[in-house]
Amino acid sequence: MTEFTYDVVIIGSGASGTTVAFEAQAAGLKVAIVEERSWGGTCVLRGCDPKKVLVGAAEARNLSTRLRGKGIKEEATISWTDLMAFKETFVEDVPESRLESFQEAGIETFFVPASFQNENTLQVGNDILNAKKIVIATGATPNTLKVEGQEHIQTSDDFLSLEKLPDSVVFIGGGYISFEFASIALAAGRDVHIIHHNSEPLKKFDPDFVAALVATLKEEGIHFHFDTDITKITKNSEKLHIEGKNSFSLETDLIIGATGRTPNIAHLALEKANIDYTKKGITVNEKLQTTNHAHIYACGDVAATKGAPLTPVVSMEAALVAKNILGGNEKIDYPAIPSVVFTSPKLASIGISMEEATANPEKYQIKNHDTTKWYTYRRTNEKIALAKIIEDRKTGQIKGAHFLSEEADYMINYVAILMKANLTLADLQSVIFAYPSPASDLTALN
Ligand SMILES: Cc1cc2nc3c(=O)[nH]c(=O)nc-3n(C[C@H](O)[C@H](O)[C@H](O)COP(=O)(O)OP(=O)(O)OC[C@H]3O[C@@H](n4cnc5c(N)ncnc54)[C@H](O)[C@@H]3O)c2cc1C
């Protein structure tokens, strides 16, 4: 056993832990980072980045399908093997290069699980680390559905490294991961099902646009089974058999569970350091300090903050933790956060919900546009393109927006800038956008 002492020890090398580590090191502090799985964390290895590579192939296939007979002869087909090999080029070097960049920066690294011994001391494998400040940035892992035969359910981690995509795939859960993966598997020509326990998937998005997305994906071939509670999964020969309440029954080759994520706190021995937590994660104040200790911080997916578990959000939290470690006294203040479901079409939202906007008609004006027939969307033969802009009635400033189209991710980012700058759509009349482009449609949403 060796004992080390640091100014800051960070547990977890994902987007949040990495941000804190580099900032603290750059300011001259003695920093160590601990990782138990692979250097780099979820986004780059098992989340956003590999997923978006697969989304790219789905986009290419879907565009070729939409333009077939309109200048394109053949529908593109996805080779899963080639696609996974391409995806791997984005992932395979990450752990080593992340480790090297820590080492080059002078950040000390420990590749073992960390747990608390007390509020200043961590057990890290056989070593003991003493630290003036500790940052818990341990992220989250996929939930397991508690059901008979649950061992047959695989996770998003498995989906993103599948060597072979079988003919039939069932996704359990009505969140964005299920929808995105289902859209990818559909583009790859598979028989795809989504099972959800209630009838409200993608709860954080505009219900009208969710309904339009579900209808479009249904038409494209995804089978939705809402209000379906799974009771049992069995495996006979090569097939998996799903049973549910009300005589539900379905046979498939692969089941991916995407029923939420649990903060990684179970193995941290938080009670030894008297750190409070709930099932939503580690309890923190607005400075992202844990409730009983000003010197222990938590950020990212493991922290029970108001921020969504999304990479740009966890990076923002981490940047604040770094500032506070370096003597700051800042409170987290989230701007409007855009979120996107990378299906085909994509669904995006930012700012206040439609529910809030419609409940306060004296305060908000909703501009509702069916843009399907607009040039931008006809050019690529999109089936559906919808937009809603929510404005403050008095100032005209944008308070929220919702999009459903292949360009929804770009549109929501433009709106994020407008919201940050407190600009109105009318202000854009004096901006010249490159034409034709999705941005040049913005002024017409007024
Ligand atoms: C399939 C999928 C798709 C996603 N797509 C998007 C997207 O498109 N856009 C977006 O913004 N976000 C997306 N996300 C969410 C995003 O990936 C996460 O919000 C983000 O990666 C969380 O970063 P983090 O630093 O909090 O945690 P993580 O990146 O999970 O890092 C935590 C690290 O801590 C380590 N660890 C845990 N416990 C210990 C311990 N006791 N000791 C040592 N190390 C430990 C873990 O091994 C892990 O490496 C996606 C997530 C998934 C799963």
Q: Residue 185: which of 89, 49, 57, 85 has the closest Cα?
A: 57
pLDDT for position 288: 98
Nearest Cα residue to atom 12 of ligand 1 = 310
Residue 280 CA to ligand 1 centre (angstroms) = 15
Number of other CB atoms surrounding residue 129 within 10 Å: 23
CA distance 46 to 300: 16
CA distance 194 to 214: 10
pLDDT for position 51: 98
Buried b (16+ CB within 10 A) or exposed e, 285-318: eebbbbeebeebbbbbbbbbbebebbbbbbbbbb
Please work out whether the CB of residue 34 comes within 6 Å of at least one atom of ligand 1: yes
In sequence order, what are the beta bridge partners of 170? 193, 255
Q: Are the C-beta atoms of 241 and 251 separated by less than 8 Å? A: yes
pLDDT for position 155: 98
143-259: CATH topology is FAD/NAD(P)-binding domain (3.50.50)
Question: Which residues are annotated as part of the binding site for NAD(+)?
Answer: 173-180, 260
Q: Are the C-beta atoms of 106 and 113 separated by less than 8 Å? A: no
Residue 141 CA to ligand 1 centre (angstroms) = 8
CA distances to 24, 95, 112, 273 from 285, rounded to whole Å, are: 21, 32, 28, 17
Within 13 A of 45's CA, how many CA atoms are on the CB side? 19
Task: Please report, to the nearest 10 degrees, the dihedral formed by the alpha carbons of residues 261, 267, 273, 275 taken in order.
Answer: 10
In sequence order, what are the beta bridge partners of 153? 255
Residue 129 CA to ligand 1 centre (angstroms) = 24
Nearest Cα residue to atom 17 of ligand 1 = 43
| Domain coordinates in residue numbering, the chain | 2-47+86-139+264-326, 143-259, 345-444
Maximum CA extent, the chain: 70
pLDDT for position 237: 81
Number of other CB atoms surrounding residue 3 within 10 Å: 9
Residue 263 CA to ligand 1 centre (angstroms) = 10
CATH match for 345-444 among 3.20.20.140, 3.30.70.270, 3.30.1310.10, 3.30.390.30: 3.30.390.30
Nearest Cα residue to atom 21 of ligand 1 = 43
In sequence order, what are the beta bridge partners of 121? 118, 130
Please work out whether the CB of residue 113 comes within 6 Å of at least one atom of ligand 1: yes
Q: Are the C-beta atoms of 138 and 264 separated by less than 8 Å? A: yes
Residue 115, classified by CB atoms within 10 Å of its CB into exposed (0-12), middle (13-18) or buried (19+), is: middle
pLDDT for position 238: 84
CA distances to 178, 189, 198, 259, 299 from 145, rounded to whole Å, are: 14, 27, 15, 7, 26
The angle at the Cα of 93, spanning 90 to 97, to the nearest 5 degrees, equals: 125
DSSP character for 434? P
Q: Are the C-beta atoms of 98 and 262 separated by less than 8 Å? A: no
2-47+86-139+264-326: CATH topology is FAD/NAD(P)-binding domain (3.50.50)
Residue 231 CA to ligand 1 centre (angstroms) = 30
User: Which pair of tokens denotes residue 429?
Assistant: 């009349």
Please work out whether the CB of residue 42 comes within 6 Å of at least one atom of ligand 1: yes
Q: Which of 10, 34, 52, 138 to mutate to test the pocket of ligand 1 (most atoms within 8 A of CB)?
A: 138
User: Which pair of tokens denotes residue 416?
Assistant: 């994020």
pLDDT for position 31: 98
User: Which pair of tokens denotes residue 321?
Assistant: 């933790």
Please give the chain's pLDDT, 446 residues, in tens: 899 999 999 999 999 999 999 999 999 999 999 999 999 999 999 999 999 999 999 999 999 999 999 999 999 999 999 999 999 999 999 999 999 999 999 999 999 999 999 999 999 999 999 999 999 999 999 999 999 999 999 999 999 999 999 999 999 999 999 999 999 999 999 999 999 999 999 999 999 999 999 999 999 999 999 999 999 999 998 899 999 999 999 999 999 999 999 999 999 999 999 999 999 999 999 999 999 999 999 999 999 999 999 999 999 999 999 999 999 999 999 999 999 999 999 999 999 999 999 999 999 999 999 999 999 999 999 999 999 999 999 999 999 999 999 999 999 999 999 999 999 999 998 999 999 999 999 989 98
User: Which pair of tokens denotes residue 29?
Assistant: 């502090």
Q: Which ligand 1 atom sits nearest the alpha carbon of residue 261? A: 53
Q: Residue 212: which of 195, 220, 379 has the closest Cα?
A: 220
Nearest Cα residue to atom 1 of ligand 1 = 47
CA distance 152 to 254: 8
Q: Are the C-beta atoms of 310 and 337 separated by less than 8 Å? A: yes
pTM of the shown model: 0.97
CA distance 10 to 118: 15
Residue 366 CA to ligand 1 centre (angstroms) = 35
Q: Residues, the chain, total?
A: 446
- Strand ranges (DSSP E) for 307-412? 339-341, 346-351, 364-370, 386-392, 398-405
> In CATH terms, are 143-259 and 345-444 the same topology?
no
Q: Residue 350: which of 302, 387, 395 has the closest Cα?
A: 387
Among all chains, which residue has been given the structure tokens 């919201």?
419
Residue 42 CA to ligand 1 centre (angstroms) = 3
* Helix ranges restricted to H, 280-398: 311-325, 354-359, 375-378
Q: Are the C-beta atoms of 22 and 107 separated by less than 8 Å? A: yes
In sequence order, what are the beta bridge partners of 124? 114, 127
Nearest Cα residue to atom 48 of ligand 1 = 41
